[in-house]
Amino acid sequence: MKRLTFVLLFVVTTLTSFAQNRIDLIDFVNTFDWKLSEIAFKEKYNNRIVIGNDSISNIHAETGNWLLSNIYIGKHKTKTFIRYNNEGEKPIIVSVPTTEPQDSIGQFVGIDIEQIVNNKLGKPDLSLDNMSLKAFNLEDLEVETGDIKMWSSTVSTFMTINAKNDKQQLFFISAFPGTKRDPDFRQGFWGDSLNDIKRKEGKEDEFNVDGIYAFTTYVAGLKCLSAYRFTGNKLTSGKYVFLNNNSDNCEDNYNKLVKLLTKKYGEPISNDKEMTASDYEQMIYTNGELVRNGDMSFKAYWFTPFSTIAIFLTGEQYEISLNIEYYSNKLEEEREKEILKDL
């Protein structure tokens, strides 16, 4: 998932193929045995693995990527690869449609394939528009942002990336094994009731606010307020509000928490620092003081099939805020309806 650019090594290369029955990509993924070792995979799909020409005769063995023939998305041909690595992790499937585009940047083909995927898989669990693609190492293709969608189950997780610039449109479909779901926020799963969460936490509610269950605790040794947010008695979001922030410790605490979140959720989709201070202010103030003054801020985002996670370090009127927020992707519409009632 973190490195899709290996696909590009093959897309531009002419590979041999042979006649056999077509396989629908989504049907292939849904029946694929994720427990197969690389050796067992090669034995099972020997007649479908494409062998490279003399110029790249050893590329499969060196990279652990195997190209399969006659994998289609609807009527569209694809370059579909199974990727194994040397660390014992389960395989990843990546597919790139190769049908000739119907306009200069392949826009119509991209729309058609996206509709096919949506019809096959239904409403995505996660849908993000115009997101940074830094984490996917697509810089060589000159695309910086794109639309990301994910569908998740305990068997397989699908992800699509749809990106374009003035010259081309890129559409990737990847799939990897589903995993046993961990709690979404602390001990809670999205959709849990207030009573469910209180029973799991076993802590007194310190604030007694409708739709919120909150108490003081510690995360990574830092004192914070932990708050569960409910919409229609369903858990839809959670938040940590860190206390005792000051200009001396805020940046170190932010970096500490980003490191821990990265260890749990992988590299962030984005991790940005914004600066509005003048050059002179940057010279005379520390980063912590710039945050306190409202002239510098930090934010990072992670996405999973179920959740959006964000961390923010900001300042306003000499007060510093350090928060981590968790949101349900599936219950986003219900949460928005609740918010609109207050407007």
Are 144 and 212 contained in the same domain? no
C-alpha triplet 124, 128, 132: angle, nearest 5° = 140
How far apart are the C-alpha atoms of 25 and 48, rounded to whole Å? 13
Q: Is residue 278 part of a domain?
A: yes
Any idea what DSSP says for residue 209?
B
| Within-domain flag for 188 | no
| 186 assigned to some structural domain | no
Sign of CA dihedral 4, 21, 114, 159: negative
What is the signed CA dihedral for 265, 269, 273, 276, rounded to 10 degrees?
Answer: -140
Round to the nearest angstrom and report the end-to-end CA distance of the chain: 39
Last residue of a domain, one of 177, 209, 230: 177
Q: Quick one: pLDDT at residue 2? A: 41
Indicate whether 200 and 329 sit together in one domain: yes
pTM: 0.61
In a domain, 187, yes or no: no
The predicted pLDDT at position 284 comes to 95
Whether 157 and 15 map to the same domain: the answer is yes
- Lookup result for tokens 């980063």: 287
The total number of structural domains that make up the chain: 2
Q: What confidence score (pLDDT) does residue 333 get?
A: 57
Sheet holding 307-316, edge to edge: 212-219, 222-231, 234-242, 319-328, 307-316, 296-303, 270-275
80 in the same domain as 36: yes
Q: Report the DSSP pairing between strands 71-73 and 23-24.
A: parallel
Decide if 185 is inside a domain: no
- CA-based torsion, 106, 111, 114, 116: positive or negative: negative
Same domain assignment for residues 171 and 227: no
Same domain for 235 and 140: no
Q: Are residues 36 and 121 in the same domain?
A: yes
Query: What is the mean pLDDT for each group of 10 consecutive residues in the chain (343 residues)?
Result: 42 40 90 89 90 48 75 89 76 83 56 84 82 75 83 83 79 84 91 94 93 96 96 94 95 97 91 92 93 95 89 94 92 57 55
| 221 and 146 co-located in one domain | no
> Within a domain: residue 184?
no
Question: What's the pLDDT at 13?
Answer: 38
The answer to whether residue 22 is domain-embedded is: yes
Residue 231 located in a structural domain: yes
Q: How do residues 312-324 score in pLDDT, each as one tens digit?
A: 999 988 899 999 9
Q: Are residues 49 and 95 in the same domain?
A: yes
Name the nearest CA neighbour of 49 among 1, 82, 88, 11.
82
Nearest by Cα to 28 from 152, 148, 158: 158
Choose one of 150, 177, 204: the last residue of a domain. 177
Asked whether residue 271 falls in the same domain as residue 301, the answer is yes
Q: Which residue has the tokens 């194994």?
A: 84
Q: Are residues 292 and 318 in the same domain?
A: yes
Radius of gyration of the chain (CA): 23
Domain boundary among 119, 147, 177: 177
Q: Are residues 155 and 212 in the same domain?
A: no
Please give the mean pLDDT across all residues of the chain.
82
What are the CA-CA distances from residue 275 to residues 253, 254, 272, 287 (Å)? Answer: 19, 16, 10, 10
Domain range for 293: 194-341
The whole-number pLDDT of residue 20 equals: 57
Beta carbons of 179 and 266 less than 8 angstroms apart: no
In whole angstroms, give the CA distance from residue 84 to residue 94.
Answer: 11
